[in-house]
Structure formats: structure tokens, C-alpha cells
Amino acid sequence: MRPAASITTALAVFAAQLRDRPLRLVVSVAAIAVGIALAAAVHLINASALAEFGRATRELSGTADLAVRGTKAGFEESLYVRLASRPGVRVASPVLLREAALVAGGTLPIEGVDPLLAAALRPELYGELAGLYVALLAPDALVLSASAARDLKLVRGDWLSLRVGGLERRLQIVAVLPAEATARRMGLMDISSAQWLTGSVGLLSRIDLRLAPGLDAARYAAELQLPAGVDAMTPALEQARAGNLTRAYRVNLDMLALVALLTGAFLVYATQALAVMRRRRQLALLRALGVRRGELRLAVLVEGAAVGAVGGVLGTALGWLIARLVLSLQGGDLGAGLLQTATTRVATPPLALALFIALGIVVAVAGAWLPARRAAEVAPARALKAGDEEAPAAVRDRLVLASVLLTLGAGCAFVPPLYGLPLGGYASIACLLAGAVLLVPAFVAATLAHLPTPRSPLLALLLARLRNSIAQSAVSLAAIVVSFSLMVAMAIMVHSFRDSFERWLGAVLPADIYLRVSPAADTFDLSTAAAATLAAVPGVARIELRRTTQLSLAPAQPPVMLIARALPRSGDSLPLVGYPVATDPTLPVAFVSEALRDLYGVQPGGVLELPIAGRAVRFGVAGLWRDYARSTGSVVVDLASWERLTGERRYTEASVWLAPRAAAESVRTAIEARLQGGDALQVIAAGALKQRALAAFDRAFAITYALEAVAVGIGLLGVVLAFAVQALARRAEFGMLRHIGLRRGQVLRMLAGEGAFLAAVGVGYGLLVGLLLSVVLVYVVNRQSFHWTLDYIVPVGQLALVALVLVATAALTAGISGRVATSGAVVRAVREDW
């Protein structure tokens, strides 16, 4: 037989097999498709949200070379004068960003610009405004973006009422921007009107600069001598900052999606391995007919690649559809609230889509790799006889490889984060998992060896059968071990996180009622006068005021949160990590969050410089505190120090302790009525606040739960498939059993028992592996991604329940597939194969 002809023959035989067993093909394709779909959907949603965020950033600064930005409160407009008159600056466009509370409820972002200057940087958006220059000079003139107009159901000429510092102001819509100009929901005003209306006269939020041609923007930025808390960055850097903010979260989701895909790969491996095992004799026959080893291997790989290609294409298409659906339903935010954009457009990067299809092929080929080798290794003469076993040498090799992988995995867990990502942690998980899977046959064999031979002949038969088909069982268990162990690890991490979070909430929310000036509104002040009013509300025993504000410590990093509150030098009442340390007594103290320590290298006992009131103020770092609310870093300082440094007596939050026997809800309502902050002021009972925080937490992890469930589902599918394939393959065996007198029910019970036993072994082993992986997740991946520590807690009940469901499902499917396989006539079944 010529080579070309022989491989054609081999492929023809495989094709015949496929026609014969379409279910196997469908399941393999489906497994790959689901895995790819998940990975693609998660990636596309994140990519779309990020692209939208980038668009919004570009829209804000247009073609500016540099964006000079302060924190939310803004900076003095004198900086604008200084920058605008600097040589090298061609255009300096001042911008004021504020949120206004709407009388009808909700808020509207307001952007105050000088239309003439802004138009020079962003003609697509502000070109419209230049023509409205005079109309916009009217102090009550407002331009709405298309989405804001749609949302508020307003057209040109309509009026919109805002609440500003307790007063209502009516603005007239002088124009609605075309939808192409911006997708953001916002209102535009002349900067003079915006300053006046929002009580921000003299303040700016940002200045966009266009520089003379040939100037290096980054170098120019360094020479600007900006006041503390104000930084200048290029639009590219600004976008990178948003990327940094969400990268850890996005990579975690991507990894989780890849887990589903990995499980899919194991399913391909399992089905292919079983098929090869089942077809040993056909393969041997082919070899005897002159088909070479390489050709046989190629044939198995081609089959795998075909499955991967079909699954990849279907999966990518499905993933795109899922992404579109998710984006249209809930926007580009996958729950973490980090990228709040109004995107409905799915980014469709052709390269990424092609990569996902390729990934499907790679995964399927990888899954088919070992089975292909095994197919090629078939020795014709031996395989044509019955009762072939795996060579001891291969087993030893496998043990060596497994121990190498496990050692490597343990080592990777100690690698520090790379590019701010826990890459070592992920590598560790991959190595540990691969090593653990290689040990599955050894584990099954050891378990079986330790079981005593039971009295019941049926059980004895079952055990004997299992002991003699360890290789087959191990293969079908691989998928369940992979998916279940990852599920266990994720469940432990999320549970530990949630539990720690809940306890942390208790620690940071000790009071009964909380007041917060909405971060979205700049139009209400919790002033000293308002605080006095608050303290005088009947039923209020004690109040504590806070001031939170954003500080920018490094241009490339997202801003950190500064919390000024009554704080003893010991840090009492803060959820501290470790103990407070002594600091220079001449410096005010600060407690930094774990994230701040990791991101800026600030250690307890050291000194931290904070840009406050336009100058750098030194603080002694007295300790670390745990802050689950801000993964970009936060610092707590004493309110008295803050007031002394800034001279400000304005607060953003207040905690209220109730007098004995005062009813929280009635006091809460009384506070709302007395302070009249409208939508700008949130007054909320501690219980409701905790509930709300936990709900937000669960929402953030909803996608995680969904991805986990899918991974377990795919694992279960693998088990079902393995049993179905085995049951069909063992038709002759069942016929034999019936021949020697077993009733059909007994055969089925034996099969169900086999299924339950194997599943139990797989689940038990998966649990062990999962515990190991969870340690890496909690102490390495989580720690490096979000910079905070968790208390390790195992959700025993939840895991037990899932384990039980898995075992029961395995038993049930084994029984069902047995029923199908034993339905034929006994004699025919025996004849068929013997």
C-alpha cells in the first residue's frame, strides 16, 4: 500500500467510525464549542468595555497631546492661565466635570468647556458647539448628548430642572448633539455657566493641551511643575491607567473561561482515548495492512483538529452572540463596577476571533495528542489478541513526570507578580492540575487495591472489573477531576472572600445609620452647619464625620482614596492587618491599605508623602488596614489633621449612632427631612448598607459562578459520555453476564454501582486537588491580583452537595446507558463480538 493511499484508508476507517458513533463527535464538538464560546464571550465583553472606555477617554481629550488632570474636587483655574501662556502650548482647553442632581431623580454628568477651544481639539464633538457659541453663553443653556436626550426624553427647546445646593435651577436645552458625536450620556455647558451653576467658580477638572509640533509630550509634561495632586499624562497613558485598574479582574475572568476550555480539552482527550482503546483491534488491523505509525497518529490528530475547527467556529460565533446579548442587557460591566460604560457595540477584532478558532483547534489537537501516540504504539500482533495491558515503563514515566509537574507547581506559587499579574499563580495552578491528572490512574489503582473483596458476588464482580480496567476508568475520570477540582478551588476562594468581606463590613460599619454625599453629585455640601443640624435630630446619640477624597500619587496609577476620620494613633476601630507600629511623633499618622503598600511600596513604620492642599505633606505610616472596597489603594488619616492641613470643614460622610430605644427607620427619615440634600445625599441604615454591599459582591461574582457551573457541566458531560461509550463497547460483556445467569436488573445495578464508585473516587480526588489549588488561589492569585488578604474558609456544605449531585448523576447516567446497551437480544449481543 502506498503511503498516500494508506493514510486515506486510515482516514476512511475513522470516518466510518464517526458515522457509526455520531454522538461521540457531537459531544466533543459541543465541549470545545462551549469552552471557546465562554472564553470568547468574556474576552469580547471585556474588550468592548475597554474599547468604549478608550473611546470615552479620547472623546474627552480629543487630539490633545496632554491631559492635565486633578482629582474630582478640581484645581485652581490659575493653573490654566499659567499653562495657556507657556511657550510650546498651542491650545489649552479648560474643562470642568461635575455631576448635577436632577430634580426628577438621578444625576447627569455635566461637562463645562470653552466651545471654541474644545472644538480645536475635538471638532467631531465640539464643532457643533462652536456654532452655538452665543446661545451657550446664556447662563441657563445646556446641550445634551443624544443618549442623554433619549434617556431624559427631552428635545431641543425643552427645560430641565437641576438641584444645586438645595436650590432648583432650570436649564434650557439649546441643542442635542448627533449620536455620532458621542455615546456618553451627558450635558455640555459653557465653562462659565458650569462653574457658576455647580458652585465651582474658580475651579477646573482638567486642561487638555495641544503642543507645538515636534515637542515630546511626556518630556514636556515632566517640566510643567504642577501642584501636588495634579498630573499631566498623554491620552495613551490615561487609557493604560484604566486598563491597569481592571486588568487583574479581566485576567481572572479570562483564566476562568479558559478553565472551561481546558475541561473541554480533557473531554476531547477522554473521548479520543476511549475511541483509540476501543479500536485497538481495528488499528492493529490497519497496521497489519501496512499503514505506518506516523500515518495512524496523523489520522487521529486530523480527527481531533477537525473536531476543534468545527467547535472553534461554532464556539466563536456563539461567544460573539453571547457577548452581544450581555452587552445589550447589562452594558460592558461584568459586575465589578470598574468599567461603567454605556457600550452596546461588540468589538469584533478579526485577529482575536481567528485566534479563538485556532485555540479550539489547538485544544482539540492537544487533547488528541496522547491518544494519537497510543494509537501509533499499537503492536499489531499483540493487540490483535485479547487482554492487552499498559506497559509498566509507561506508568513509571508518568509518575516521574507528575512529580516534576507538582514540584514545579509548588515552586511557581512563590513567584512574585509579573506586570501586576499573578502569572506565577496561574502557572502553578496549571502545573499542579496537570500533575494531579497524571496521577489519577495511580490514585484509582491505590484506592481499589485497598478495598477488601466483598462477599456479594455482584460487588466482587464489579470490583474485579474495575481493577482490570484502570486505564479506561482513569481516562473518563480526568475530565471530572479537572472540572471539579477547579470548582472546589474557586468555591473556596469566593467563599473565603465573601466571609472575610462580611466580617470586614461589620468592622467598618459599626454605627447605625450612614450618610453619604453621593459621589455622583457635587451639588450638596455636608458642612459644619449641616452636621450641627444632623446632631440635633431627635434620636441621634452621636455622630462622626468623614471626608473622603481622591489623591493621585503616581501618574500611571489610578488615584488612591484618602479617608479622613476621627482616628487615634493606635488605629483602633480600623480593621487592621497585624499591629500598629510606632512612628515619628512629630508627624501625623496614616494607616495604609494593603493595596497601597503593594502598589507604592509603603511599609508600616515608614513615611508617606501625600499631596494635600497643593503641597506634599509627610505622614508616619502607623499600620496596615484591610480595605476590600478599593483595590487601587487607600489611606486613612485623622480628620483633625486633615482639617488643620486644608482648613476645610466640609465632609462627605457621617456615621450616626442612635440613642437607646430610637427606631432606626424613623430617625433615618427625620434626617432626610431635616437635611434636604435631595438625591445628592444618601441616608441609609447600617443593615441595608451591608445588604447592599453584599448584593454588589454577589453581582460581581455572578459571572464567576456561571463560568464555574459551565465548567462542571462540561466535566459531567464527559463522565456521561464515557459511560455511554463504555456501555456500548461492553455490550458483548453484558451479553456474557446475562448468559451466565445475571438478570438484567442486576447488570444495571452493577453498572450504576460502577458509575457511582468511579464518580466518588473522582470527586474525592478532585476535592483533594481542589483544596490544594484553592490555597494557591487564596494566597497567591487573589493576593497578587487585588492586594488584600483573606481568611481561608471551606464551604463544606456547598461542596458536599455538589459532590453528591455529581456522584448521583454519574450513577444515573451509567445506569441509563447500560439500559440502552442491554436492550438487545442476549444471543445477538454475544455473537456480534465474539
Binding site for other proteins (CB under 8 A): 77, 80-81, 84-85, 94, 114, 116-117, 130-131, 133-135, 137-139, 190-193, 195-196, 201-202
Minimal distance, residue 191 CB to other proteins, in Å: 5
User: Considering beta carbons, is residue 137 or 706 the nearer one to other proteins?
Assistant: 137
Minimal distance, residue 318 CB to other proteins, in Å: 48
Minimal distance, residue 167 CB to other proteins, in Å: 15
Grid coordinates in use for 350?
A: 478579526
- Of 398, 393, 488, nearest to 434 by C-alpha is 398
3-state SS class at 73: coil
User: Considering beta carbons, is residue 117 or 515 the nearer one to other proteins?
Assistant: 117
- Of 128, 189, 133, nearest to 160 by C-alpha is 189
User: Considering beta carbons, is residue 66 or 260 the nearer one to other proteins?
Assistant: 66
Grid coordinates in use for 523?
A: 451639588
User: Considering beta carbons, is residue 127 or 713 the nearer one to other proteins?
Assistant: 127
Minimal distance, residue 117 CB to other proteins, in Å: 7
Q: Kind of pairing, strands 681-685 and 513-517?
A: antiparallel
Contact between 649 and 528 under an 8 Å Cβ cutoff? The reply is: yes
571: alpha, beta or left, given left = phi > 0 and alpha = psi -120 to 50?
left
Whole-angstrom Cα Rg for the chain: 33
Minimal distance, residue 105 CB to other proteins, in Å: 28
Rounded Cα distance, 536 and 552, in Å: 37
Minimal distance, residue 64 CB to other proteins, in Å: 17
User: Considering beta carbons, is residue 65 or 77 the nearer one to other proteins?
Assistant: 77
Minimal distance, residue 184 CB to other proteins, in Å: 23
User: Considering beta carbons, is residue 81 or 236 the nearer one to other proteins?
Assistant: 81
Residue 456 CA: distances (Å) to CA of 191, 680, 736, 763:
88, 75, 19, 25
Minimal distance, residue 652 CB to other proteins, in Å: 25
Sign of CA pseudo-dihedral 282, 288, 293, 299: negative
Minimal distance, residue 307 CB to other proteins, in Å: 59
User: Considering beta carbons, is residue 131 or 294 the nearer one to other proteins?
Assistant: 131
Minimal distance, residue 218 CB to other proteins, in Å: 23
Rounded Cα distance, 62 and 238, in Å: 12
Rounded Cα distance, 397 and 401, in Å: 6
Rounded Cα distance, 711 and 638, in Å: 48
What are 546's strand-pairing partners? 565, 653
Rounded Cα distance, 139 and 135, in Å: 9
User: Considering beta carbons, is residue 73 or 240 the nearer one to other proteins?
Assistant: 73
User: Considering beta carbons, is residue 79 or 160 the nearer one to other proteins?
Assistant: 79
Dihedrals phi, psi of 212, to nearest 5 degrees = -60, 145
User: Considering beta carbons, is residue 196 or 600 the nearer one to other proteins?
Assistant: 196
- What single-letter amino acid sits at 309? A
Minimal distance, residue 201 CB to other proteins, in Å: 5
User: Considering beta carbons, is residue 96 or 511 the nearer one to other proteins?
Assistant: 96
Minimal distance, residue 116 CB to other proteins, in Å: 5
User: Considering beta carbons, is residue 169 or 374 the nearer one to other proteins?
Assistant: 169
Minimal distance, residue 155 CB to other proteins, in Å: 19
Question: Which element (helix H / strand E) includes 173?
Answer: strand 167-176
- What single-letter amino acid sits at 38? L
User: Considering beta carbons, is residue 29 or 95 the nearer one to other proteins?
Assistant: 95
Minimal distance, residue 209 CB to other proteins, in Å: 13
DSSP code at position 588: P
User: Considering beta carbons, is residue 77 or 708 the nearer one to other proteins?
Assistant: 77
Minimal distance, residue 647 CB to other proteins, in Å: 21
User: Considering beta carbons, is residue 70 or 315 the nearer one to other proteins?
Assistant: 70
User: Considering beta carbons, is residue 81 or 418 the nearer one to other proteins?
Assistant: 81
Residue 491 CA: distances (Å) to CA of 494, 749, 773:
5, 33, 11
What are 210's strand-pairing partners? 91
Taking the C-alpha atoms of 270, 276, 280 and 284 in order, what is their torsion angle to the nearest 10 degrees? -160
Rounded Cα distance, 729 and 717, in Å: 18
3-state SS class at 523: coil
Q: Over 634-665, what HEC string results? A: EEEEEHHHHHHHHCCCEECEEEEEECCCCCHH
- Of 683, 680, 684, nearest to 105 by C-alpha is 680
Cβ contacts of 63 within 8 Å, gap of 6 or more = 121, 122, 210
Rounded Cα distance, 211 and 751, in Å: 77
User: Considering beta carbons, is residue 122 or 250 the nearer one to other proteins?
Assistant: 122
Rounded Cα distance, 479 and 711, in Å: 10
Rounded Cα distance, 594 and 602, in Å: 9
DSSP code at position 216: -
What are 513's strand-pairing partners? 656, 685
Grid coordinates in use for 682?
A: 444618601
Minimal distance, residue 85 CB to other proteins, in Å: 6
Grid coordinates in use for 788?
A: 488584600
Vertex 311: Cα angle to 308 and 313 (nearest 5): 105
Minimal distance, residue 523 CB to other proteins, in Å: 16
Residue 471 CA: distances (Å) to CA of 474, 475, 725, 797:
5, 6, 15, 32
Rounded Cα distance, 78 and 65, in Å: 21
